[in-house]
Structure 1
């Protein structure tokens, strides 16, 4: 997808960087919410909502823009950031096409048919270059892929600032017996490598995970976990965790419900030689069941 040099609302910039900012510095969080994460028997479906909001799993700000499920209403403009691509993997590794996709005023929605038994992975993946510079005394902002950046943004541009953003947002859904093939990682950016199956989480129990950066253990990485429903709590209730030397961390679930997990890395390992800074972000929604 190609984007040209232009002015665009500051709301887009905030959304584009939302995965790269610490929680204390941002008001909005991006998320997907499946109608169920564990289903049984026969051919079943799951419906997924996706949004950017102040309160977790509550629609009140704007939809998460997803390139392959439909266009947002015209009045939204660039709100919701650069569209990510939805990738759905079936238990046997086959790609699944989303059905009935729609982007509304406050949320995006799509359906997924679960024709196989096992665990599906649903991921919205986004990567690209984000830059700002001055041209003719005016500030210009640009977004797009690496190839277009090299062609369209002059390297001698005044006050040029550019960063490479990689983001991955995931949910896991199991029909019947859980499987593990879809839990394999790609080796690109920041990813979750589950040790405990993500559809086998129980309140009061510990779950273990590993974070990988470009396929290698992400050591000393800060991971934030927040239970949903913070709209109805006085306190956010976040859990602030840190990975060990092998990228591992554990979570003790305080109660049942939907949880939001986030981790962010900033480094100078951009795959684009003209851009030094990289921001890699990971988000997952996990369901914890009662004992």
Structure 2
């Protein structure tokens, strides 16, 4: 009887949330969820789930693809992710923390997609600007080119936090921590700086959501905007796992802030591998057939750009 009552209560809370939460709360979000983010320096393992879902850290939509998984060790060099697998609603992998310091775990999408016509046939291709320049024929018509730069990541520290793995690549939206991402405590304020293609991500929208949304009647999100230096400040209201999303300002014709990175096609924070269910389900492959686009066309020299960034952080009790 008690179990039934609890189940009814959970369903009631979920229904109430569906009535009061904004539409953005139901859009697909991509995330990585580690089993922990801070470990003693005893060579432990960390297991990570990867998924695309409506609720934060709850498996109910799609497993995220791991083709674009990148793990960087404390020495700044790539680390092999082990035991990779993909289920219906989530993917998972393990990382052995052989080195002391901070690891970066990320799903990174950085690709260019083009559609064009040759006669009456429409073709779609994906690759780099250089490869597409060779592949697209000179007689192509109605050329439309878009660039997707999306990153979904988290950080894990063994022993003392370090910063070598946190160095930016200069590609897409990235975190340049002022406060270390594995040094967060409830009640304290953290400062994060974001860059986009190496420049301050000024005026970008930022959303911070505590895990457990499925069992809350209120979203309880923190919404803010990056300043001229690309920085945000967050005072953590409670301990727990948080999902952070950064989206560019609204681009004309993109359908929302940052196109796929905002509340447009793909949903808020659909991001790289937060890029929406379709791309997450089949990263690195040409997109499936869809209605002809009506937005800006773009060129290989200046593609229509869509970008997004999602981050999982753990805040410890004070």
TM tier, smaller: 0.7 to 0.9
* 2:308 corresponding residue in structure 1: 281
* 2:59 corresponding residue in structure 1: 59
1:97 aligns with 2:61: no
CA apart distance, 1:157: 4.3
CA apart distance, 1:180: 1.7
* 2:293 corresponding residue in structure 1: none
Report the secondary structure of 1:149's partner residue. helix
Alignment of 1:1-291 (within 5 A): 24=24, 27-67=27-67, 85-133=68-116, 137=120, 140-154=123-137, 157-265=140-248, 273-291=300-318
Report the secondary structure of 2:161's partner residue. coil
**Structure with more strand by fraction:** 1
What is the number of residues matched between the two proteins? Answer: 251
Report the secondary structure of 2:248's partner residue. strand
Report the secondary structure of 1:42's partner residue. coil
TM-score by length of 1: 0.78
Report the secondary structure of 2:76's partner residue. coil
Q: Which runs of 5+ in 2 are unaligned?
A: 1-22, 253-297
RMSD value, Cα: 2.5
CA distance in 1, matches of 2:215, 2:76: 39
- For residues 178 and 159 of structure 1, do their structure 2 counterparts lie closer, same or farther at Cα, with a shift above 3 Å needed? same
CA distance in 2, matches of 1:135, 1:255: 57
CA distance in 2, matches of 1:159, 1:273: 13
CA distance in 2, matches of 1:112, 1:161: 39
CA apart distance, 1:154: 4.5
Structure 1's consecutive aligned runs of 4 or more residues displaced over 6 angstroms after TM superposition are none
Relative contact order: is structure 1 or structure 2 higher (C-alpha 8 Å, sep ≥ 6)?
2
CA apart distance, 1:125: 1.1
CA apart distance, 1:161: 2.7
- For residues 139 and 211 of structure 1, do their structure 2 counterparts lie closer, same or farther at Cα, with a shift above 3 Å needed? same
> In terms of mean alpha carbon deviation, does 244-253 or 257-266 score higher?
257-266
User: Would the aligned equivalents of 1:150 and 1:274 in 2 still touch at CA under 8 Å?
Assistant: no
Q: Which runs of 5+ in 1 are unaligned?
A: 1-22, 68-84
TM-score by length of 2: 0.72
* 2:276 corresponding residue in structure 1: none
CA distance in 2, matches of 1:278, 1:56: 26
> In terms of mean alpha carbon deviation, does 38-47 or 229-238 score higher?
229-238
CA apart distance, 1:236: 2.1
CA distance in 1, matches of 2:145, 2:29: 23
CA distance in 2, matches of 1:289, 1:244: 26
